Amino acid sequence: MKGGEIMKVGPLIVVIIFITFDIGTGWLKALSTGTADSSIMRKGLFHKLAEILAVLFGYTCELVFPLVDIKTSIPLAAGIATYIVIMETASIVENLAIMNPALADILSKFFSKEKLNPDEKGEQTNENQSGSSS
């Protein structure tokens, strides 16, 4: 695979890496807190699959829009991937902080919700809560 080809799939690869890390930290968090629940994990897995499909949808739009004369200069897949990576980062940090409360203060200095997404002002949605349980 050439450098240019890797860059085309780079956003998808990054999303898969972050999803994998979130699944791993979520699983370890559930085991360490005694809250492992297969139905929650299954739901979280479907959320992760939907995130991958969203990036693939972005690629599909980039590919087919020109075929029907829809012009866009926005890299849709990369934009979707960026949002997902920020969302996964917040979930990973939350999982790590729950597994090791001593990390919470350190991690919050670098990864506060306000820094990751200033529009949310620290509020967590149900989607973010369920996404961190994978």
- Per-residue HEC secondary structure of 39-107 comes to HHHHHHHHHHHHHHHHHHHHHHHHHHHHHHCCCCCCCHHHHHHHHHHHHHHHHHHHHHHHHCHHHHHHH
Output the pLDDT for position 114. 59
Output the pLDDT for position 119. 54
Identify the residue with better confidence: 71 or 129. 71
Q: Which two tokens stand for residue 100?
A: 């090791």
Helix (H, G, I), strand (E, B) or coil at 4: helix
CA 15 to chain centre: 6
In this predicted model, what pLDDT tens digit does every residue of 92-126 receive, in sequence order?
999 999 999 998 888 888 887 655 554 545 444 44
Q: What angle do CA 10, 125, 35 make, to 5 degrees?
A: 90
In this predicted model, what pLDDT tens digit does every residue of 2-23 receive, in sequence order?
555 556 889 999 999 999 999 9
What is the value of pTM for the model shown?
0.77
Output the pLDDT for position 133. 47
Report DSSP state, residue 119.
Answer: T
Average pLDDT of span 64-81: 94
In this predicted model, what pLDDT tens digit does every residue of 58-70 receive, in sequence order?
999 999 999 999 9
Q: Is the pLDDT of residue 87 over 70?
A: yes
As a whole number of angstroms, the distance between CA 126 and CA 91 comes to 12
